[in-house]
Structure 1
């Protein structure tokens, strides 16, 4: 079965609709009662949301609701949440808005007022390993320790630590210093 098409000259069945523009894509399908969603994305590489006001957006006709990070389950770092009040990269979703049409959702999105407190951010991940370096994630980038109420593998806790310039020099070019897990 796998070799049925390999090495054979064939024309895909959907080539004519794709070339002529008659093909149907996801956005082409409309259903009665369909709701459209738009996401409010963070315009900064790292920030904390200090205030959020969607009153004007919610007052618009055709807007069904606004979903914020406070209303969805949060994921522990280093996982990425669906919505967050602590975006750690440009474009992370802050809120979602649902409306009757895509244009109403886009217009309502513009009416949401958000205030951000800019935070230090990391451009070079290696810089975050040095003492005093900015951490990309508040809780570190290693999962371990207390996971779902249980201790990490073997009951050990994983500790965050920083490396010094000496540690990098000993490791050599293009190598990372090695850490040690508790035994």
Structure 2
């Protein structure tokens, strides 16, 4: 796993306000983690692409508003990501659209029909288990496991204490494990 911050990050951030090359290094370093976090919260890959683009666009536009003395760049970046995803999800609650992306992804899968079905079933089980969690719990799991943030960074971003983040994550993971075991037991009957 990558180190917690980019080498010479603060210098690059200062330079990025005037030099696109410096921002490109920041973008390259953080892209995968941001995309994974977005993808963990959004089912459609095309929408994850769009939201990730919006996140980096907003970061670039507001880069002069970042102050390292207030917290790490990573925390600031994922706060922006969290806000954009939250806005998107709020809007989606108002609309119920059938995604053709999911159909296209299944049709283009390189695996055979049986593997696709098993993978899809596993993903549906995980998604169903995640739906048992509240929004805050799902968000913390996304930040921890898909974005790769540590508990301290999540605490800074969410306003929770570091120990509270740890407790919520532990309980959420435990609930997921129990839900998945219960689902597996029901399938085996």
Shared topology, TM-score over 0.5?
no
Relative to total residues, which structure has the larger helix share, 1 or 2?
2
Relative to total residues, which structure has the larger strand share, 1 or 2?
1
TM class by shorter-chain length? under 0.3
Q: What TM-score do you get using the length of structure 2 for normalisation?
A: 0.23
Q: What TM-score do you get using the length of structure 1 for normalisation?
A: 0.23
Max Rg structure? 1
